[in-house]
Structure 1
Amino acid sequence: MTTAQEIMTRAASTVQEDDSVKNVGKILLQTGHHSIPVVNASGHLVGMIGERDLIDANREVHLPTMLTILDGLIPLGGMHEYEEELRKVTAVTAGQLASTKVVTARPDENADAVAEKLLRKEVHALPVVDADGKLLGIITRSDILQHLLKP
């Protein structure tokens, strides 16, 4: 059984949580990755930033439709989406922009289970973390393909 630690890229490109959003964009473009892990000073995973997050951070915020009843404002759906858009457009650092609900893999996890997570969760990369949340490496869809196609 092949494990995540056997196929992961150990020297994963990362950004620090206090890096600027602009710097994150430059690093993503330079590396050609679709997403990048955000870590704190001790190397623990804080979140992930993808291309979509960077695009969202530079869009206009769309205000939710409101209904006025007896001088009260009632949002007609989309309040969570509005809050998320607002969080992204006001982000200055990687830590503020990063998605914190990150799907991860453990080093001893079966490679097939990792591949399943990549496909089911529709992500391009899975950070591999230890029990304390320290980033050990990353597994991309390309890593899975290389593993499957090796003789």
Structure 2
Amino acid sequence: MKSARELMTTPFVAVQADDPVEKVGSVLLESGHHSLPVLDKDGRLVGMIGERDLIDAHRRVHLPTLVTILDALIPLGGMHEYEEELRKVTAVSAAQLASTQVITAAPDEDADAVAEKLLRKDIHAVPVVDGEKRVIGIITRSDVLRNLLNP
């Protein structure tokens, strides 16, 4: 049974936390990947940015519908969604735009478990991180497929 270390791609494409959003878009398009890890200056994982994040960053913000009940303004549809939209459209750096709840893999994790994460969570890539949260590689759906077709 292969491990994440055997399946991961190195070197990998990543962006830095302080990279401007425009640069992130260029790197994403040029690399052909669907998502990229965002790293701090020490190579530690800050988050992930995907195509959806960049598309969201360029959308119009839809103001929530408010209802007045007993002199209180109550948003319909939830304030969380509005706050998330606002966060994305005002982001100027990769760190500000990145999703911070990232599913990762350990180097010795079973490759089948990583494939399961990709499928169950409907994500395109899983960063492989060491004990200090430094990204040492990345596993994409293509890596899993390549392993299945050429074991």
**d(CA) in 2 for partners of 1:50 and 1:118?**
14
Give deviations 1:78-105, integer Å, cap 9, x for gaps: 2111010000000000000000000000
**DSSP-derived class of the 2:9 partner:** coil
**d(CA) in 2 for partners of 1:77 and 1:18?**
32
Residue of structure 2 equivalent to 1:75:
75
The one-letter code sitting in structure 1 at the alignment partner of 2:28 is L
Identical aligned residues as a percent: 69
Per the normalisation by structure 1, the TM-score is 0.97
**DSSP-derived class of the 2:133 partner:** coil
Give deviations 1:40-99, integer Å, cap 9, x for gaps: 000000000000000000000011111113432111232111010000000000000000
Query: Number of aligned pairs?
Result: 151
Residue of structure 2 equivalent to 1:135:
135
Superposed, 1:22-101 pairs within 5 Å as 22-101=22-101
Q: CA RMSD in A?
A: 0.9
Per the normalisation by structure 2, the TM-score is 0.97
Q: After the TM superposition, which parts of structure 1 deviate over 2 Å for at least 4 consecutive aligned residues?
A: 69-72
**d(CA) in 2 for partners of 1:150 and 1:52?**
31
The one-letter code sitting in structure 1 at the alignment partner of 2:7 is I
- Structure 1: unaligned runs, 5 residues or longer: none
**d(CA) in 2 for partners of 1:142 and 1:76?**
40
The one-letter code sitting in structure 1 at the alignment partner of 2:132 is D
Shift in Å, 1:130? 0.7
The answer as to 2:150 corresponding to 1:150 is yes
**d(CA) in 2 for partners of 1:90 and 1:17?**
15
Give deviations 1:8-32, integer Å, cap 9, x for gaps: 0011100000000000000001001
